Structure 1
Amino acid sequence: MESVKLQIESLRSQLHEHNYNYYVLSQPTISDFEFDRLMRQLMELEAAYPEYYDPNSPSVRVGSDINNNFTQVVHRFPMLSLQNTYSEGEVTDFYNRVKRTLNEEFEIVCELKFDGTSISLVYENGRLTRAVTRGDGRKGDDVTANARTIRNIPLVLKGDDVPPYIEVRGEILMPWSSFDALNKERAEQEEPLFANPRNAASGTLKMQDSRVVASRKLESYIYSMLGDSLPSRSHFENMTLARGWGLNVSDTMRKCGTLEEIFAYLKEWDVARKTLPVITDGVVLKVDSLTQQRNLGATSKFPRWSIAFKFSAEQAVTRLESVSYQVGRTGAVTPVANLEPVLLSGTTVKRASLYNEDAILALDLHIGDRVYVEKGGEIIPKITGVDKEARFLLGDRVTFTRKCPDCGTPLVRNEDEAAYYCPNSEGCPTQIKGRIEHFVTRKAMDITIGPETINLLYEKGLISDAADLYRLRFEDLVYLERWGQTSANNLLESIERSKSVSYERVLYALGIRFVGETVARKLAQAFPDIDQLAQATVEQLVAVDEIGERIARSVTAYFANTLCVDFVRRLRQYGLQFALSQEMLAAKTDKLKGLSIVISGTFELHSRDEYKAMILQNGGKNSGSVSKNTDYILAGENMGPAKLEKAGKLGVKIIDEKAFLEMLQ
């Protein structure tokens, strides 16, 4: 047994070192294949010998499906905000104020202000013991399990000179590349897009499933160190040591002795930040000496020894070369601007979204225009304006296409919508393949097949819709180009496994317009099998929580289409789940029937999503706002003051977790 323990410790040590080389130094010394082999070996040993469990093992990087009910933790050192400045004059005022107060030599550390969600990491004897969000500055949420999945947060610090207790502060960020990929996936699944990487990082860090957190490739950037016995009285020196211990401290930090050096740094990074892989929105200025920091003190809100200089919104100017059009799986046609390449937010931008015909007309676009481009929450950047004074030898005015870019069918536009659609849903190749791609996604049927393979199978005539996947045979696949027995068997096994996917996910996979993941779950709860749903009227559908008339008409139109009905019939023949499981049916009750419940605050016993599911499961209705129709407010800690005030005015009863759970007894 001792040899097994030594083997586990050796593997952990190797993997910690390889993680540091890859995620902090960006200098990997082994291949991904070899890293994965070592990780598998460690996980197999840990599964076989659970007595050697270690919460800081490298294996926790993959996350767990255990639900994390976040608890509130009081910060040992309060997390203060910084006062923002927007001009060089305000920076000068700050510098002179520090100079007058100290009346001695001092240095200012300039460091980039990364725009993410704040985190406090506690290390005891070099091992990560707790990760807490900023919260209200006095206390925050314990997100240790999720933080452990972030690859460049070391679980065990390197070196022998680490103090027995340190607390490091930093930002959790989602790189632009991960953000774009996430929003692309959400758009394909008709889910709301994240507005910016900061919101995406914050939302991800607070998720209940740490496996999902692990998959989104968050990163940490550390900017300060706290503790009773720090190694140096210089902030800059402490950060240099922290980098050596394995923490991800940006190498863009610089000590400045004069105002001129500070302004040079601001000017340099206002331009250079565009090359960074993560979002920055300014520069933080800090007095370097910790002793001088203590002497300067703080107000009730801000430290007097630090300020944040905010950059103006990042924008690029480039030339519009052409406009092309794309058709999606629902038939919506989207215009895309093709641009002269320009650097923006760490990436070279060649395309930008134009949304729809109304947006094009509002901009009065012409080919050759100089256009302003910003990168916000979109999958690709957006054009926000045109420099009309720069027009020279004006090109053709941009007009929206009237034919499908794929099949040539004349487009249609509904009176209440801005988008044009290709009505040839059953004959347009891009729509057909798009629906299959949606069907196989992880949140739908979770079949391991990519767009290239779908295109190959479609072009070879092996599939014409998603139902055809279930009649694929080994001999159909094994002789395809670059395929073999292993690839064929893997796909067929994945297709077979998908037959056990739950009803609500199958419903989502059908690709009914406006029926995203959440709507599919609500419909499945309200109509426990597909026959009930197919026969539902618009009125019955609208009666379901959060189902509006637009969704209801889309559902009834789907089941009125004989081709769609036949598609569902074929899927049923292949054994897919088109009814709630007996376990879920048994858990359904009418205990909350007719009750409208608003959830507000943070909870200890269950997550907000779990409480929402309980309300639906027991016949109740989730509501996002308090009104005269609200029956109860399920209130946790930090309930919104506006909701509390409105509840008092309307006489709405407020209940806590225990009272709510007693209602379900």
Structure 2
Amino acid sequence: MKNNNKKLIINLSKKINKHNYRYYILNKPIISNYEYDKILNKLIKLEKKYNFIYKNSPIKKFNKNLLNKKFKVTKHYFKMYSINNVYSKENLIIWKKKMDKKIGKKNNYICELKYDGIAMSLIYKYGKLKSAITRGDGKYGNEVINNILFINNIKKYIKKIKNIKIFNIKGEIVFSKINFSIINKINKKKFSNPRNAANGTIHSKYYNKNIKYLDFIPYSIYTNDNNINLKINNQFKSIKLIENLYLKYQKKAYKLCKSSKQIINYISYWEKNISIYPIDGIVIKINDFNIQKKLKSNNIFYKWCIAYKFKDKELITKVKKVKFNVGKSGIIVPVVYFKPIIINGTIIKKASLYNSNIYNNYNLSINDKIIIKKSGNIIPKIIKNINFNKNKNKYINFPLYCPSCNKLLKKKNNILICKNDKKCKKQIIEKIKHFISAMKIKINNNIINQLFDNNKLNNITDLYYLTKNDFLLINVKSKVYIRILNEIKNSKKNNLNNFLFALCIPSIGKYICKKIEKKYKNLYNLLKNIKKNNIKFLGKNIEKNIKKYFNSFIIKQFIKLGFKI
């Protein structure tokens, strides 16, 4: 196998691992499901074609980084695989034809709603709820039973299964659309969408008042009881048993189908109608359990089912204003604010256009009608300016000078950058905010801005010289500044990966920081290896950036401050 192909497989594996971490742990995905699936399917094909698997392949290896370290890690009794996706009805029909060839045309399929929530596995032992495990990587998950006990429709005891040793109910933890609206009214912090809200609530370390607004929607059962397994030999019977034991499903939440036409009609119904809960597609399963067992699964997906994902919704709105934000690295990002719209239960009022070429392609003016799409139910995107070229004299042009310090911007790969990083107010403030957030110190942005304006916080090391009087100067309450000063003090004992990430070193993201921590453990070992020129495993560009930063005066200041990282 050529080195180029090997390199491509390794790079794709690393890319997927990064996206998995953002999705499962940070709960901040930056690509749509469609884009993610394209990368994943490409990796699967390449691994198969060249018979090469990277040691940290997301397809083959359990990744502990996909689990929340605040919670106990538990092995699933019955593995929770993922479901492969299709994004067109044509591809769905192709999949069904393949299945019909393998199992025969007379077999039934069952269509079910695909809920956009958090997958959960409930374990009952002799009728009592003993465990609640998140999906994790499918083999291991987080034990969150202490949180889910507060969900009203989760039963703590089911009398009808009191004689069964292990009874596993798998399902989805979700906020109904009504309850999502309620929690966004009663909480100071507004959630961007129901899935993020459900994930954050389930992974709360302490009791979270939002938990009582969650629902559990079961979709399958597994048991070690042979009598039940003989009786419940297909998914339709399984759902009927769940309804009998647990709760009634919403109307038309599932349907038994035989032909492609029946499946397409069911999908079309839910593309036009509104569900009580957030849904992002339809799952199509082979109904017969014996056939399911014969088809088995690969390391990621069940082979006996597929998920049809709904197309991204597009809506028309009006441009209100455009802001050109200066980021911590000096990159100018145009953010278009428009009249708020609701897509899939989420209020959207702005979209970023990332670089000058993309921005200039739209020729935007105030009150222009634009088409917005929420790509993969995640990222708002501007698709089209309907009024393109109608207001030639009123275009909002990309600035030539930095909106913060007024220095001439430099262009690199269609990105406009302010290189005045030592004096640009916005860059300095953004670096300070990033450092504070990465070091797990909770300070309101308004307090940071006021400390900066009063010349008390001009760089990240100034943080460690703040006193009670500095906070009194800007009228911060004693309860607040005592907590902040304690958190600042405790941050000196933070871990290496948080500290490195906080420093904003170019090309050094969270993933690289974790690799460095894994190899060197602490700051002392890292400094020792930098001096010995022993960090080549990271690549030339990253090595160069780390050396440059660690030879600067700022690192000496951190050491002088007594950091024990």
TM-score, normalised via structure 1 length: 0.53
> Structure 1 residue 112: deviation in Å?
1.5
Q: Per-residue displacement from partner, 1:499-528 (whole Å, max 9, x unpaired)?
A: 223455434332222223443455565697
> Does residue 501 in structure 1 map to residue 504 in structure 2?
no
Q: Distance in 2 between matches of 1:508 and 1:411?
A: 26
Task: Pick one of 396, 399, 402 that aligns with 1:401.
Answer: 399
> Does residue 553 in structure 1 map to residue 535 in structure 2?
no
- Structure-1 residue corresponding to 2:555: 568
Q: Distance in 2 between matches of 1:534 and 1:297?
A: 59
Q: Is 1:336–1:354's contact at 8 Å kept on the other side of the alignment? A: yes
Task: Pick one of 463, 471, 474 that aligns with 2:465.
Answer: 471
> Structure 1 residue 133: deviation in Å?
8.2
Q: Which residues in structure 2 correspond to 1:329-344 (within 5 Å)? A: 329-344=328-343
> Does residue 419 in structure 1 map to residue 420 in structure 2?
no
Q: Distance in 2 between matches of 1:254 and 1:526?
A: 52
Q: Which residues in structure 2 correspond to 1:71-220 (within 5 Å)? A: 73=77, 86=89, 111-114=112-115, 120-129=121-130, 141-143=139-141, 145=143, 157-158=155-156, 161-164=159-162, 165=164, 166-171=167-172
Q: Which residues in structure 2 correspond to 1:371-410 (within 5 Å)? A: 371-376=371-376, 380-383=379-382, 385-386=383-384, 393-395=390-392, 399-410=397-408
Q: Per-residue displacement from partner, 1:363-421 (whole Å, max 9, x unpaired)?
A: 4544425435232486x4223x4376x7583555564322222232221123xx44221
Q: Is 1:123–1:130's contact at 8 Å kept on the other side of the alignment? A: yes
> Structure 1 residue 145: deviation in Å?
2.4
Distance 1:147 1:401, change over 3 A: farther
Q: Is 1:365–1:386's contact at 8 Å kept on the other side of the alignment? A: no
Q: Distance in 1 between matches of 2:440 and 2:136?
A: 36
Q: Which residues in structure 2 correspond to 1:202-601 (within 5 Å)? A: 221-227=217-223, 228-229=227-228, 237-244=240-247, 251=250, 253-254=252-253, 266-267=267-268, 269-271=270-272, 278=278, 280-282=280-282, 284=284, 300-301=294-295, 310-319=308-317, 321=319, 322-361=321-360, 363-367=361-365, 368=368, 370-376=370-376, 380-383=379-382, 385-386=383-384, 393-395=390-392, 399-414=397-412, 417-441=413-437, 444-478=438-472, 480-481=474-475, 483-503=476-496, 505-520=498-513, 533=527, 536=530, 540=533, 543-545=535-537, 547-558=538-549, 565=553, 567-577=554-564
Q: Is 1:130–1:142's contact at 8 Å kept on the other side of the alignment? A: no
TM-score, normalised via structure 2 length: 0.61
Q: Per-residue displacement from partner, 1:144-190 (whole Å, max 9, x unpaired)?
A: 62576567778972455341233222246799999xxxxxxxxxxxx
- Structure-2 residue corresponding to 1:619: none
Q: Distance in 2 between matches of 1:122 and 1:535?
A: 48
Partner AA of 2:374 in structure 1:
E
Distance 1:382 1:66, change over 3 A: closer
> Structure 1 residue 120: deviation in Å?
4.4
Q: Distance in 1 between matches of 2:307 and 2:472?
A: 60
Q: Which residues in structure 2 correspond to 1:578-657 (within 5 Å)? A: none
Q: Distance in 1 between matches of 2:514 and 2:506?
A: 15
Count matched residues: 448
Pair member with larger Rg: 1
Q: Report the secondary structure of 2:484's partner residue.
A: helix
Distance 1:574 1:413, change over 3 A: same
CA-atom RMSD in angstroms:
5.4
Partner AA of 1:575 in structure 2:
G
Q: Report the secondary structure of 2:143's partner residue.
A: helix
> Structure 1 residue 73: deviation in Å?
4.9
Partner AA of 1:225 in structure 2:
I
Q: Report the secondary structure of 2:562's partner residue.
A: coil
Q: Per-residue displacement from partner, 1:437-474 (whole Å, max 9, x unpaired)?
A: 22222xx4322323232123223332222222222222
Distance 1:241 1:518, change over 3 A: same
Q: Distance in 1 between matches of 2:558 and 2:474?
A: 25
Unaligned 5+ residue runs, structure 1? 1-61, 179-196, 288-292, 581-665
Q: Distance in 2 between matches of 1:127 and 1:280?
A: 32
Percent identity reads 21
Partner AA of 2:483 in structure 1:
N
> Structure 1 residue 347: deviation in Å?
0.9
Q: Distance in 2 between matches of 1:220 and 1:356?
A: 42
Q: Is 1:534–1:556's contact at 8 Å kept on the other side of the alignment? A: no
Q: Report the secondary structure of 2:441's partner residue.
A: coil
Q: Report the secondary structure of 1:475's partner residue.
A: helix
Distance 1:142 1:426, change over 3 A: closer
Q: Per-residue displacement from partner, 1:77-111 (whole Å, max 9, x unpaired)?
A: x98979978279969x99xx9xx969xxx9x9864
Q: Distance in 1 between matches of 2:241 and 2:490?
A: 52
Distance 1:128 1:112, change over 3 A: same
Partner AA of 2:544 in structure 1:
R
Q: Distance in 1 between matches of 2:149 and 2:333?
A: 36
Q: Report the secondary structure of 2:456's partner residue.
A: coil
Q: Distance in 2 between matches of 1:154 and 1:544?
A: 54
Q: Distance in 2 between matches of 1:263 and 1:253?
A: 14
Distance 1:424 1:463, change over 3 A: same
> Structure 1 residue 323: deviation in Å?
3.3
Partner AA of 1:310 in structure 2:
Y
> Structure 1 residue 553: deviation in Å?
3.3
Q: Report the secondary structure of 1:440's partner residue.
A: helix
Distance 1:88 1:239, change over 3 A: farther
Q: Per-residue displacement from partner, 1:87-144 (whole Å, max 9, x unpaired)?
A: 79969x99xx9xx969xxx9x98641135786543312333445678899xxx61436
Unaligned 5+ residue runs, structure 2? 1-66, 181-194, 298-303
